[in-house]
Structure 1
Amino acid sequence: MDAHYSKPAGFKLVLNPAARKIIFLSVAFLCLFPFVNPPLALLLGIIFAQFVGHPFAQASHKITAWLLKIAVVGLGFGMNIHSAVSAGKDGFLFTSISIVSVLSIGLVAGRLMKIDKKTSFLISAGTAICGGSAIAALSPVIQAKEKQISVAMGTIFILNSVALFLFPAIGHRLHLSQNQFGLWCAIAIHDTSSVVGAASHYGQQALEVATTVKLARALWIIPVAFLTSALFKTGSRKVSIPYFIGLFILAMLINTYIPIIKPLVPYITSVSKTGLTLTLFLIGTSLSFKTLKTVGLVPLLQGVLLWTIISVTSLWVITHF
C-alpha cells in the first residue's frame, strides 16, 4: 500500500486509488457490526473525509438516499400503527406551528443578514421540515442554482451532524422521557437520518415517536412547495413527493395486522438499524473541510440561529406542557 504524508494534500493522506477504495470498504464493513452505533459511524465517516477522501463520491449521494429510505421502511415493521397515529396526532399542532415560525423567521433573518434569497429560503426549509430532503424537493420549485443548493445542503449537514452527538447527551442530562426525546428529535433535528440515529441510540419508544412524527413532518413538503411557487413566482409545479413514507406506513400496517410476519420482525429491524448506521457513515464521508468552506460563515450563522431557536423553543415547550 503506497501511502505517505504530503504538504500539498493538507490534512489528507496521499493514497493510490486502490488503497483508498480498500480502506473505504473496510471501514464501511466495520459499520455493519453491532458495536458501531450511529454517532460512532458518523464520526468515522467525518474522520475518513478529512484524512482519506471519498473514493466513490459521485455515486455516494444516490446510494445514501436509497439506503436511508430502505432502512426507514424496514424500521416500520417494528412499529404499531395505533401507537404511530397517536404519536403523530400529538405532534401535529406542534409541527404546524414550528414549520410556519421557522420559515417566517428564516426569511426575515436572511434579508437582515443579506443572504441570497433562494439560499436563505432553502436553509430555512431544511431546518423547518426535513433537512436535505426538503432542500432537494424545493430546489426545482424555486429554480435554485447549484451553488445555492450546495451552500444550503452543506449548512444543514454540518448542523445535522452536530445534533446527532449533542441531542442524546442533552436528553440524558435533562432526564427526558422516551416520548419527550423522540418528539424533540423530530422537531429540532434536520435530517431523518440523524433523527432516527439519535432516537435509536436513546431507546425504542423514542425511535417510534421520532420516526413517525418526522415522516409526518416531511409530508409538509407538498403544501410548502405550492406556496413556495407562488412566493417566488416561478410558476413551477415540479416537486419530489416522498413516496417512501407510504411504504413506511404499509410496513406498520403489516406488522400490526398480519401476525405471520412477527417472527421476522426482529431480523428486519436489526438489518434496518444496521443500514441506518451505514447510511450515517456515508453521510459523514461527505463532510470534509471543503464542505465547510463552500458554505461560508454568514449562511452557516443563519442555520445556527434558526436551529438554536427551534431547538430551545421546542425543548422548553416539551418539558413544560
Structure 2
Amino acid sequence: MRLNYNLPPALHQTLFILAAALIIFSPWFSSPEALALGLGFGLILGNPLQELSEKAAKYVLQAAVVGLGFGIDLYQVADTGLSGLLYTAISLSVTMLLGFLLGRFFNITPKLTHLVSVGTAICGGSAIAAVSPAIKANAQDISVSLGIVFTLNALALFVFPVVGHAFGLNQQQFGTWAAIAIHDTSSVVGAAAKYGDEALQLATTLKLTRALWIVPMVLVSGMAFKSGEAKAKVPVFILLFILASVLVTFVPAALAVAPPILLAAKKGLLLSLFLIGANLSRATLRSISAKPFYQGLILWLLVASASLAVILMF
C-alpha cells in the first residue's frame, strides 16, 4: 500500500495506534467524532494496519453490541418496541421492491441490484456478506455494493441526529427510525447513542431483530437466483446480545455488573467506528460507479423519508 505524504511506516502506525487509544481513553469523543477521525486516516493518511483493523472492527463491534445488551430491559422493549417491529417488517418488503424497480430503471445487473437492496433493507455489510455466496455474486459486485452501503452509512451517522432534532423526534421515535433507515449496526448504535440512552436501547434491539431476517433472506435469495448454496445461520453475537438482555432483565445479580460492561461496550463502539472509518480508502470510493450509487442513494433516501413520515404520523 502506498502511503500518502510519505510517512515513515513506523511513525504512521504509531500515529494510528495513538489515535485509537485517544478514542478509548478520552472523554471528549462521541460516535461522529470517532468515525470522522477514522475517515481522516483512511482518506488522507491511509490506513497503515488495513488487514488487522478490518478484522478488529468486526469483532470489537460485535463485542460492543453484546455488552450493550446489558442495558436492555426486555419489559421496556415490549412496551415501546412493538410498533417498531411492525414498521421493520413492512419496510423490508417495500425496500426490496423499490430496490428492484430502481435497478431496472438504471439498468443495473440483477445481482448487484439485489446486494444493494439487501444491504439497505436489513443490516448493510453483514447482509451483503451473507447473501453474496447464496447468489454467487462476483467480487466486483460485492465490492461496489459494500462501498455504496458504507459511504451512505457513514453519512447517516452525522445526518440522522441533526434531522431527528430538527423534527423534534423523541427518544422512542428516533430509535425506531434509526433502526429502520440506517444500514449497518455500527452507525445505528452510534447515531442512537448520540441521541440518548432510550433511543440507544430501542434502536439496538430493533436493529438486531432486523438482522435476524438475514436467515430467510439468504434462503430466498438462493432460490431466486437458483443457487444450491443458500445456507444461513443466526450470528452468534446476536444470540449473546439476547442472552445479556435476558440476564439483566431477570437475574438481579446481573445488574451489579451491568454499569462497567456498558461503559466498556460504549468505548468499544467508538473504537469500532474509528476502525470502520479508517478502512474506507480512496480506492474504494473510486470503485463505485455512478448508476449503482444512484440506486443506493435514492433507495436510502426513499426509505429514510418514508419511514420518518410514518413515524411522525403515528
Structure 1 partner of 2:261: 268
Report the alpha carbon displacement of residue 236 of structure 1 after superposing the two structures with TM.
Answer: 1.6
SS of 1:241's equivalent in the other structure is: coil
- What are the within-5 Å matches in structure 2 for residues 109-188 of structure 1? 109-188=102-181
Structure 1 partner of 2:53: 60
Structure 1 partner of 2:9: 17
Q: 1:20 to 1:44 in 2, by over 3 A?
A: same
Equivalent residue letter for 1:280: L
Q: 1:87 to 1:12 in 2, by over 3 A?
A: farther
**Residues 192-213 of structure 1, C-alpha deviations (whole Å, 9 max, x = no match):** 0000000011000000110011
Equivalent residue letter for 1:144: A
Work out which of the residue numbers 296, 300, 304 in structure 2 matches 1:307: 300
Alignment check: 8 A CA contact 2:42 2:281 kept: yes
Alignment check: 8 A CA contact 1:88 1:216 kept: no
Alignment check: 8 A CA contact 1:11 1:50 kept: no
Work out which of the residue numbers 16, 19, 24 in structure 2 matches 1:27: 19
Report the alpha carbon displacement of residue 180 of structure 1 after superposing the two structures with TM.
Answer: 0.3
Report the alpha carbon displacement of residue 288 of structure 1 after superposing the two structures with TM.
Answer: 2.4
Unmatched 5+ stretches in structure 2:
none
Q: Percent identity?
A: 46
- What are the within-5 Å matches in structure 2 for residues 190-269 of structure 1? 190-269=183-262
Alignment check: 8 A CA contact 2:221 2:230 kept: no
Equivalent residue letter for 2:42: A
Q: 1:164 to 1:118 in 2, by over 3 A?
A: same
**Residues 71-112 of structure 1, C-alpha deviations (whole Å, 9 max, x = no match):** 000010111121233444222221111111111111121122
Equivalent residue letter for 1:181: F
SS of 1:100's equivalent in the other structure is: helix
Partners of 1:49 and 1:63 in 2: CA distance:
15
Partners of 1:177 and 1:102 in 2: CA distance:
25
Partners of 1:189 and 1:221 in 2: CA distance:
16
Report the alpha carbon displacement of residue 60 of structure 1 after superposing the two structures with TM.
Answer: 2.0
Partners of 2:168 and 2:210 in 1: CA distance:
25
Deviates more, 1:282-291 or 1:237-246: 237-246
Equivalent residue letter for 1:260: A
Partners of 1:85 and 1:247 in 2: CA distance:
19
Report the alpha carbon displacement of residue 306 of structure 1 after superposing the two structures with TM.
Answer: 0.5
SS of 2:294's equivalent in the other structure is: helix
Structure 1 partner of 2:272: 279
Work out which of the residue numbers 249, 269, 292 in structure 1 matches 2:285: 292
Report the alpha carbon displacement of residue 261 of structure 1 after superposing the two structures with TM.
Answer: 2.3
Alignment check: 8 A CA contact 1:72 1:248 kept: yes
SS of 2:123's equivalent in the other structure is: helix
Deviates more, 1:128-137 or 1:87-96: 87-96
Q: Does 1:50 align with 2:43?
A: yes
Alignment check: 8 A CA contact 2:174 2:192 kept: yes
Report the alpha carbon displacement of residue 11 of structure 1 after superposing the two structures with TM.
Answer: 9.4
Q: 1:62 to 1:240 in 2, by over 3 A?
A: farther
Work out which of the residue numbers 79, 82, 86 in structure 2 matches 1:93: 86
**Residues 111-147 of structure 1, C-alpha deviations (whole Å, 9 max, x = no match):** 2211121111101000000101100110111111111
Alignment check: 8 A CA contact 1:184 1:314 kept: yes
TM-score normalised by the chain length of structure 2: 0.96
Equivalent residue letter for 1:269: L
Alignment check: 8 A CA contact 1:12 1:50 kept: no
Q: How many residues align?
A: 313
Structure 1 partner of 2:76: 83
Equivalent residue letter for 1:72: V
Alignment check: 8 A CA contact 1:81 1:249 kept: no
Alignment check: 8 A CA contact 2:3 2:46 kept: no
Structure 2 partner of 1:71: 64
